Amino acid sequence: MAVLDLKTKLAILSDAAKYDASCASSGGAKRDSLGGRGVGSVDGGMGICHAYAPDGRCISLLKLLLTNFCVYDCAYCVNRVSSNTARARFAVDEVVDLTLGFYKRNYIEGLFLSSGIIRNADYTMEEMVRVARSLREVHDFRGYIHLKVIPEASPALVNQAALYADRVSINIELPKDESLARLAPEKDIAGIKKAMGAMRLGVEAGREKGRKARPPKFAPAGQSTQLIVGADEASDGAILKRSAGLYGAYHLKRVYYSAFSPIPDSTARLPLARPPLMREHRLYQADGLMRFYGFDRAEIVGEDEDLDLAIDPKLAWALKHRGDFPLDLNTAERERMLRVPGLGVRSVERMLGLRRFKALTLEDVRRLTRGVAKLKPFIVTADWSPGALTDKADLRERVTPTQMDLF
């Protein structure tokens, strides 16, 4: 076998990691290198490789696989054992040196590390833990670390991963148990859920208040997971039902959605084309409605239904519930304001603050939001009432953005 140089390994293993969407940097414990010889810092925020924190900063993570060799044969994975793809493997020290080198050059703020399964789950998990342990204990690295946990690994190794990492992800991959059994026969759904449950208990114990001796910080940024969209026949409603169950049972920080991408030499059990990227986008919007806006999954979409790709799910809900509108923004409760299409959490909070001092006008709404065109049929202000506009038969066409509006 040819010996690959570090640059070639980096090209192969960073490209192989691009399919994992559950890579983020939100909620990590704040650390800096002041008062010591440590390297790096964590300043909060959220990001997936190159994304933006709430304060506008771009967050960059070095996103790698330790190796794309794998003994599993998951049909939807380009790195499956039966796939004809270029293979590479990093040594532990190589990943450590890359992380430190990239950080010192100001290229990254942390590391996201995943891996194919080599030899067995315990061996692979142990190698990943060695990377994190070396960064933290040998080099006093204080930047962000996100580890992809292998649920089949021993609980002791999973616990070690959570003690060194800011966040861990345990990917459930598919929305239906039967799909996972059919397309990824080596994966055990019961084992995945057991690992998620153990991680939840560890995270909550680390945050428990009132204890005299608190345990070491255990994945302080919590855990996340990924669902692949379009690899099986699951509807959007079924996908969101799975997400809602995971949020409730395991208190996940995030569920990430990754549109299935056809891979070379794939099985006939997989679709030939990828789903529309807009479907992934609508799932993220619906997920946000469940997490931040007080919507239940059943309010957004039926279990056997798909989301409307033409309009966002909050607008779709409002059009079906016109009897709840128009809403007087000067008297409505926060929970009802959050259901108005076009109003975000920040906008609502600002309006609640402003209306303590004055009656909200349409101009106030314009200043506190991105625009009032979508809002006008659904709101009442001190100087505006939509009249019969809310009940217009062509209201959907009036509030749906045209193609030119998207640019």
Per-residue pLDDT of 25-79, as tens digits, reads: 444 444 444 454 554 444 433 223 554 444 445 568 889 999 999 999 888 888 8
d(CA 392, CA 191): 52
In this structure, what CATH number is given to the domain that contains residue 180? 3.20.20.70
Strand partners, 217: none
Judge if 317 and 280 occupy the same domain.
Answer: no
Per-residue model confidence (pLDDT) at position 101 = 92
CA dihedral sign of residues 376, 377, 382, 384: positive
Judge if 253 and 386 occupy the same domain.
Answer: no
Q: Is residue 307 part of a domain?
A: no
Per-residue model confidence (pLDDT) at position 349 = 97
Query: Which residue from 406, 354, 363, 404 is spatially nearest to 381, judged by alpha carbons?
Result: 363
d(CA 26, CA 44): 6
Tokens of 298: 């059943």
pLDDT for residue 184 is more than 80:
yes
Torsion of CA 316, 321, 325, 331, to 10 degrees: -100
Judge if 75 and 14 occupy the same domain.
Answer: yes
d(CA 76, CA 231): 7
Residues in the chain: 407
Per-residue model confidence (pLDDT) at position 115 = 94
With contact defined as beta carbons under 8 Å apart, do 167 and 224 qualify?
Answer: yes
Q: Which residue has the higher pLDDT, 216 or 163?
A: 163
Q: Could you tell me the pLDDT band of residue 96, with boundaries at 50, 70 and 90?
A: very high
Q: Which residue has the higher pLDDT, 32 or 372?
A: 372
In the predicted model, what is the mean pLDDT of residues 246-253?
94
In the predicted model, what is the mean pLDDT of residues 195-217?
76
Per-residue model confidence (pLDDT) at position 10 = 86
* Greatest mean pLDDT range, 15-19, 39-43, 72-76, 130-134: 130-134
pTM, two decimals, is 0.86
Encode pLDDT of 256-283 as tens digits.
999 888 776 666 778 778 899 999 999 9
CA 100 to chain centre: 25
Exposure class string for 223-256: b at 16+ Cβ within 10 A, else e: bbbbbbbbbbebbbbbbbbbbbebbeebebbbbb
Reported as type and span, the H/E element at residue 380 is strand 379-380
Judge if 195 and 70 occupy the same domain.
Answer: yes
Q: Is residue 305 part of a domain?
A: no
**Residue 404, by phi and psi: left (phi above 0), alpha (psi -120 to 50) or beta?**
alpha
Q: Which one of 300, 327, 344 terminates a domain? A: 300
In the predicted model, what is the mean pLDDT of residues 187-191?
90
Per-residue model confidence (pLDDT) at position 360 = 96
Judge if 215 and 326 occupy the same domain.
Answer: no
Judge if 198 and 286 occupy the same domain.
Answer: yes
d(CA 380, CA 372): 12
Per-residue model confidence (pLDDT) at position 55 = 46
Q: Is residue 1 part of a domain?
A: no
Judge if 198 and 322 occupy the same domain.
Answer: no
Judge if 317 and 283 occupy the same domain.
Answer: no
Per-residue model confidence (pLDDT) at position 57 = 53
Per-residue model confidence (pLDDT) at position 192 = 92
Torsion of CA 332, 336, 340, 344, to 10 degrees: 100
Q: Which residue is listed with tokens 């960064």? A: 135
Number of domains in the chain: 2
Query: In which domain, by residue range, is 220 found?
Result: 6-300
Judge if 151 and 242 occupy the same domain.
Answer: yes
